[in-house]
Structure 1
Amino acid sequence: MTWHAALHHCQQNGLPHVLATQVSALGSTPREPGARMVITPDSVIDTLGGGTFEWQTIETARRHLAGGHTGFHLEAFSLGGRSGQCCGGFVNVMLEVFPGARTHLAVFGAGHVGQAIMALSHPLPWHRHWFDSRPESLASVEPAPRLATHRLNDPAAAVRSLPSDCHVLVLTHSHDEDYALVNALCERDDLGSIGLIGSQSKWHSFKRRLQRAGNSEAALERVRCPIGTLGQGKLQDKTPYSIALSTVAELLTLADAPASLADHRGLESAALKPLFDDFKELDIP
């Protein structure tokens, strides 16, 4: 696999990765500027020339991934000093660190609203988990990046399988199934959000049952019902597409906000200055 194919695969599937690009070369170096490689937590695709210099690049890239240091990082290598190689040249490598898809969405229910939510969220860089207890409901779903489908057999077990910070929507075909899921979801305090489709009267009925089951007020306050109102009361248009559209918009406000724009506006001039200073100080024929 080439770095082009690896980059496309990682971007399409929301996988954490680093694109390493050699941006400068002075003297004798293994590769010329423009050489690239893709580094993930457990694989390396393509090469910048091999040797200790490349190993150090990989180690640095994985350290940035593990530490959540997203964005651009400029690394300098003297091929004879820091890298312990005998080329005697000097290179700078730009590391572009992509954390992968950080938002997880679990949708319980593959009815009209569930289908519309999945269609609308498809272009978003979210990992999506889609559950339904009816075997025919998900049988025709085509494979898609960052999408996993599951047969819902045990609501409690399904809820336990969700990752931390996951945003959850409950909109199955059965009120009993909805209740069992919400009851299990209330036991977790590490989820991003919990949404339940239905009216305010449905929620009042569920809330009384959930209170009798021993759920705390703090847990019940984490449940949004109705969904897709953005805190503005009832939706006037209750078609599946409208509910789905407003629900996805609501989720966008609830999902983790991206890093500040300052983190994604390139390198500060102070980071570039050493690059030019190093070149002026080197005396390489």
Structure 2
Amino acid sequence: MTPCKEPWPGGARPGVVSWHEALHRHQVAALPHALASVVGTAGSTPREPGAKMVITANEVFDTLGGGTFEYQVIDSAREALSRGENGPRLEAFALGGRSGQCCGGYVHVLIELFAGAEMTIALFGAGHVGQALVALMTPLPWRVFWHDSRSGAFPAWAEGQPRLECLPGPDPAAAVAALPPGAHVLVMTHDHGEDRALIDALLARGDCASIGLIGSDSKWASFQRRLRDAGHAEAALGQVRCPIGIPGARGKHPYEIALAVMAELLTFKPAVERCDQRGVAPRALRDAFKNERMGSRE
């Protein structure tokens, strides 16, 4: 097992972390990870079926028995995580063949991949609409980076939310530079000048999944004139949605606006591929059980 290198929510004890503790933490925080489970063995093997380990890009929690076989499981999981893969995959390891170990057995490992948060949201502004919107987002498996240039702007209930980072700071350009690529960004600060500076910096970055600006058509028309003068092309300006919210929504109360924006964000959520076959391929399962039976006869 691996020592915990990061603080745990709620002040839980540091020290040795088992696979089930690590799995809970990464599931709650919507962080990329894999759960590797021994689901079948034949002959002499390091661990029994049911042994599990959690694998991330930088850490490993618990063990499947060590040795080259375990390193191959870790490498396979990390390669898949680096490609953003989701879902289960079944892998076979012949100890003594592929794994170069002298046990001589055969192991099937189910690797369940969790790519992390479904969406990454960056929200600038902790006013009434921003607070209502974040309250709607926190139950979802989304990562939310919440920025406000004012001190003391964030509500007390935001403290300790597992997928929410509250980031105070007076420099909009630095905040934009620190964003992860591919974030869906919403700009709704208390100041029009700050809104415009943020849109300028976001367009200069050019790698946001979407950009939304709260306000009216006249506000956006005024911004566009200045942004053109700053050198932004029409194609770049076309990336900005203003007003924000799902079309046809009505209501001026902060919670009503937040609901309309939330509904619009849901339209950006990645589609789930629908097909008749999902998860581990039936042929892989048939081959796994065939090898199990062959191993039991030896």
TM-score (norm 2): 0.87
The residue that corresponds to 2:281 in the other structure is 268
Cα separation, 2, equivalents of 1:263 and 1:190: 34
Between 1:169-178 and 1:262-271, the stretch displaced more is: 262-271
* Equivalent-residue separation in structure 1 for 2:29 and 2:262 (angstroms): 20
Task: Give the SS at the match of 1:187.
Answer: helix
Equivalenced residue count is 281
1:57 aligns with 2:57: no
Q: Which amino acid aligns with 1:185?
A: L
Between the aligned partners of 2:69 and 2:276, the Cα distance in structure 1 is: 27
- Map of 2:207 onto structure 1: 190
Residue 82 of structure 1: CA displacement?
2.2
The answer (yes or no) to whether the contact 2:33–2:55 under 8 Å persists in 1 is yes
Aligned to 2:107: 91
Aligned to 1:209: 226
**Which residue does 2:165 correspond to in 1?**
148
Q: 1:114 to 1:170 in 2, by over 3 A?
A: same
Q: String of CA shifts for 1:21-75, please: whole Å, max 9, x gaps.
A: 1111222222221111111111111111222221221122112222333221111
- The 1:103–1:37 alpha-carbon spacing in structure 2 relative to 1, beyond 3 Å, is same
Residues of 2 paired with 1:190 and 1:263: CA distance? 34
Unpaired runs of 5+ residues, structure 2, are 1-16
Percent of aligned positions with the same letter in both sequences?
Answer: 55
- Residues 150 and 170 of structure 2 are in contact (CA less than 8 Å); yes or no, is this contact kept in structure 1? no
Write out aligned runs for 1:242-253 (5 A). 242-253=256-267
- Residue 277 of structure 1 corresponds to which residue in structure 2? 290
CA distance in 2 between partners of 1:231 and 1:66 (Å): 36
**C-alpha distance after superposition, 1:115-163 (max 9, x if no partner):** 0111100022222111111101027331211222222312222222212
Structure 2 residue matching 1:10: 3-state secondary structure: helix
Please, what is the CA RMSD of the aligned residues? Answer: 2.0
| Consecutive aligned runs of 4 or more in structure 1 exceeding 6 Å deviation | none
Q: 1:125 aligns with which of 112, 123, 141?
A: 141
Structure 2 residue identity aligned to 1:104: T
| Amino acid paired to 1:154 | D
1:222 equivalent among 239, 255, 275: 239
Structure 2 contact 68–100 (Cα < 8 Å) conserved: yes
Separation (CA, whole Å) in 2 of partners of 1:22 and 1:32 = 7
Q: Which moved more, 1:114-123 or 1:187-196?
A: 187-196
Structure 1 pair 68/177, CA: closer, same or farther in 2 (3 Å)? closer
Q: Distance in 2 between matches of 1:183 and 1:86?
A: 61
Give the TM-score of the pair, scaled to structure 1: 0.91
Q: 25-34 or 160-169, which moves further after superposition?
A: 25-34
Q: What is the letter of the counterpart of residue 248 of structure 1?
A: M
**Matched residue type, 1:108:** F
The residue matched to 1:19 in structure 2 has which SS? strand
Take 1:195 and 1:69, find their aligned partners in 2: how far apart are those partners?
A: 28
Structure 1 residue 213 displacement after superposition: 2.8
Counterpart AA for 2:259: L
Q: Contact conserved, 1:26 with 1:284, CA < 8 A, in 2?
A: no
Shift in CA distance, 69/131, structure 1 to aligned 2, threshold 3 Å: closer
Sort the Cα spacing of 1:268 and 1:106 in 2 relative to 1 into closer, same or farther, 3 A.
Answer: same
Deviation at 1:172, TM superposition (A): 0.9
Q: Distance in 1 between matches of 2:91 and 2:285?
A: 10
